[in-house]
Structure 1
Amino acid sequence: MKTNYLALCAIAGLLASTACGKKEEKKNAAPPPTPVSVITASTSPAVYYDQYPATVVALKTVELRSQVTGFITSLNFQEGDLVPAGKVLY
Protein backbone atom coordinates (compact mmCIF):
# COMPACT_ATOMS: atom_id res chain seq x y z
CA MET A 1 0.00 0.00 0.00
CA LYS A 2 2.88 2.34 0.82
CA THR A 3 4.48 1.64 -2.56
CA ASN A 4 1.25 2.45 -4.40
CA TYR A 5 0.86 5.68 -2.43
CA LEU A 6 4.47 6.68 -3.05
CA ALA A 7 4.18 5.91 -6.79
CA LEU A 8 0.93 7.88 -7.01
CA CYS A 9 2.52 10.91 -5.32
CA ALA A 10 5.53 10.71 -7.64
CA ILE A 11 3.30 10.62 -10.76
CA ALA A 12 1.16 13.51 -9.47
CA GLY A 13 4.28 15.60 -8.77
CA LEU A 14 5.69 14.83 -12.22
CA LEU A 15 2.43 15.84 -13.92
CA ALA A 16 2.17 19.06 -11.89
CA SER A 17 5.73 20.13 -12.72
CA THR A 18 5.23 19.31 -16.42
CA ALA A 19 1.96 21.27 -16.60
CA CYS A 20 3.47 24.31 -14.90
CA GLY A 21 6.43 24.40 -17.27
CA LYS A 22 4.22 24.64 -20.39
CA LYS A 23 2.19 27.58 -19.04
CA GLU A 24 5.30 29.71 -18.62
CA GLU A 25 6.35 29.08 -22.21
CA LYS A 26 2.94 30.22 -23.44
CA LYS A 27 3.11 33.42 -21.37
CA ASN A 28 6.44 34.41 -22.91
CA ALA A 29 5.21 33.88 -26.48
CA ALA A 30 3.70 37.12 -27.79
CA PRO A 31 1.41 37.28 -30.83
CA PRO A 32 2.94 38.84 -33.93
CA PRO A 33 2.31 42.59 -34.29
CA THR A 34 -0.62 43.66 -36.44
CA PRO A 35 0.35 45.95 -39.34
CA VAL A 36 -1.40 49.34 -39.25
CA SER A 37 -1.25 52.49 -41.35
CA VAL A 38 -0.52 55.83 -39.67
CA ILE A 39 -1.35 59.35 -40.88
CA THR A 40 -0.72 62.76 -39.35
CA ALA A 41 -3.83 64.60 -38.14
CA SER A 42 -4.30 68.14 -39.42
CA THR A 43 -6.89 70.88 -39.14
CA SER A 44 -8.91 72.20 -42.04
CA PRO A 45 -11.91 74.51 -42.32
CA ALA A 46 -15.24 72.74 -42.50
CA VAL A 47 -18.44 74.37 -43.73
CA TYR A 48 -21.68 72.66 -42.80
CA TYR A 49 -25.01 73.79 -44.14
CA ASP A 50 -28.42 72.35 -44.85
CA GLN A 51 -31.01 73.52 -47.32
CA TYR A 52 -34.70 73.17 -46.62
CA PRO A 53 -37.44 74.23 -49.03
CA ALA A 54 -39.76 76.61 -47.19
CA THR A 55 -41.98 79.66 -47.42
CA VAL A 56 -41.56 82.51 -44.95
CA VAL A 57 -44.71 84.25 -43.71
CA ALA A 58 -44.70 87.29 -41.38
CA LEU A 59 -46.50 86.97 -38.06
CA LYS A 60 -47.58 90.61 -38.14
CA THR A 61 -48.10 92.85 -41.15
CA VAL A 62 -48.54 96.60 -41.25
CA GLU A 63 -49.98 98.77 -43.99
CA LEU A 64 -48.68 102.34 -44.07
CA ARG A 65 -50.96 105.08 -45.35
CA SER A 66 -50.58 108.79 -45.29
CA GLN A 67 -53.22 110.79 -43.40
CA VAL A 68 -52.42 113.93 -45.35
CA THR A 69 -51.45 114.65 -48.92
CA GLY A 70 -47.86 115.62 -49.62
CA PHE A 71 -44.37 114.44 -50.59
CA ILE A 72 -41.95 112.21 -48.68
CA THR A 73 -38.77 114.18 -48.04
CA SER A 74 -36.76 111.65 -45.97
CA LEU A 75 -36.77 107.99 -44.96
CA ASN A 76 -35.65 107.37 -41.37
CA PHE A 77 -35.18 103.60 -41.86
CA GLN A 78 -33.79 101.09 -44.34
CA GLU A 79 -35.57 98.09 -45.75
CA GLY A 80 -35.26 95.15 -43.35
CA ASP A 81 -34.61 97.29 -40.22
CA LEU A 82 -36.38 96.45 -36.98
CA VAL A 83 -38.43 99.49 -36.02
CA PRO A 84 -39.79 99.87 -32.49
CA ALA A 85 -43.34 101.13 -32.00
CA GLY A 86 -43.63 104.92 -32.00
CA LYS A 87 -40.47 105.68 -34.04
CA VAL A 88 -40.79 108.30 -36.79
CA LEU A 89 -40.53 106.59 -40.17
CA TYR A 90 -40.89 109.51 -42.67
Structure 2
Amino acid sequence: MKKYTILLLGASFSLSSFASEPVDNADILNELKEIRTLIEQNQQNIYTCVDGDRNYSIGIYITKNRVNYHCIAKDNHAEWDPVLVSVN
Protein backbone atom coordinates (compact mmCIF):
# COMPACT_ATOMS: atom_id res chain seq x y z
CA MET A 1 0.00 0.00 0.00
CA LYS A 2 1.39 3.38 -0.97
CA LYS A 3 1.50 6.24 1.44
CA TYR A 4 0.66 9.70 0.17
CA THR A 5 1.79 12.88 1.83
CA ILE A 6 0.42 16.31 1.24
CA LEU A 7 3.01 19.03 1.08
CA LEU A 8 1.90 22.58 1.66
CA LEU A 9 4.54 24.90 0.29
CA GLY A 10 4.75 28.29 1.88
CA ALA A 11 1.37 28.02 3.56
CA SER A 12 0.91 28.34 7.25
CA PHE A 13 -2.51 28.43 8.82
CA SER A 14 -3.39 29.31 12.35
CA LEU A 15 -6.73 29.67 14.05
CA SER A 16 -5.69 33.00 15.50
CA SER A 17 -5.58 34.58 12.04
CA PHE A 18 -9.25 33.84 11.45
CA ALA A 19 -10.55 35.32 14.70
CA SER A 20 -8.21 38.18 15.51
CA GLU A 21 -10.96 40.26 17.15
CA PRO A 22 -13.93 39.14 19.20
CA VAL A 23 -17.21 39.53 17.35
CA ASP A 24 -20.23 41.00 19.08
CA ASN A 25 -23.70 39.80 18.12
CA ALA A 26 -24.93 43.40 17.99
CA ASP A 27 -22.26 44.21 15.38
CA ILE A 28 -23.30 41.26 13.26
CA LEU A 29 -26.96 42.20 13.57
CA ASN A 30 -26.27 45.78 12.49
CA GLU A 31 -24.30 44.60 9.45
CA LEU A 32 -27.09 42.22 8.46
CA LYS A 33 -29.63 45.05 8.76
CA GLU A 34 -27.49 47.21 6.47
CA ILE A 35 -27.25 44.41 3.91
CA ARG A 36 -31.01 43.86 4.06
CA THR A 37 -31.64 47.58 3.52
CA LEU A 38 -29.36 47.60 0.47
CA ILE A 39 -31.09 44.55 -1.00
CA GLU A 40 -34.54 46.07 -0.48
CA GLN A 41 -33.45 49.34 -2.10
CA ASN A 42 -32.09 47.53 -5.16
CA GLN A 43 -34.98 45.12 -5.55
CA GLN A 44 -36.84 45.38 -8.84
CA ASN A 45 -40.43 44.41 -9.39
CA ILE A 46 -40.80 41.71 -11.99
CA TYR A 47 -44.23 41.71 -13.56
CA THR A 48 -45.64 38.91 -15.67
CA CYS A 49 -48.89 38.32 -17.52
CA VAL A 50 -50.54 34.90 -17.35
CA ASP A 51 -52.72 33.32 -20.02
CA GLY A 52 -53.82 30.44 -17.82
CA ASP A 53 -50.91 28.13 -18.68
CA ARG A 54 -47.80 30.25 -19.14
CA ASN A 55 -46.21 33.39 -17.72
CA TYR A 56 -45.14 36.13 -20.14
CA SER A 57 -42.85 39.07 -19.45
CA ILE A 58 -43.68 42.71 -20.16
CA GLY A 59 -43.60 43.61 -23.86
CA ILE A 60 -44.68 40.23 -25.25
CA TYR A 61 -47.47 40.00 -27.84
CA ILE A 62 -49.64 36.89 -28.07
CA THR A 63 -52.73 35.83 -30.01
CA LYS A 64 -55.57 34.02 -28.27
CA ASN A 65 -58.83 33.18 -30.05
CA ARG A 66 -57.90 35.43 -32.98
CA VAL A 67 -57.34 38.44 -30.69
CA ASN A 68 -53.89 39.99 -30.24
CA TYR A 69 -52.80 40.99 -26.74
CA HIS A 70 -49.83 42.94 -25.46
CA CYS A 71 -48.46 42.38 -21.93
CA ILE A 72 -47.97 45.82 -20.32
CA ALA A 73 -47.10 47.21 -16.89
CA LYS A 74 -49.96 49.33 -15.57
CA ASP A 75 -50.57 50.77 -12.09
CA ASN A 76 -47.95 48.62 -10.34
CA HIS A 77 -49.04 45.33 -11.95
CA ALA A 78 -49.00 43.59 -15.32
CA GLU A 79 -52.05 43.12 -17.49
CA TRP A 80 -53.05 42.13 -21.01
CA ASP A 81 -53.94 45.00 -23.29
CA PRO A 82 -55.95 44.09 -26.42
CA VAL A 83 -54.23 45.29 -29.59
CA LEU A 84 -56.63 47.08 -31.84
CA VAL A 85 -56.21 46.37 -35.53
CA SER A 86 -57.14 49.17 -37.85
CA VAL A 87 -59.25 48.23 -40.86
CA ASN A 88 -58.60 50.15 -44.11
Q: Which has the higher helix share?
A: 1
**Common fold, TM-score beyond 0.5?**
no
Q: TM-score, normalised by structure 2?
A: 0.30
Higher-Rg member (1/2):
1
Q: Which has the higher strand share?
A: 2
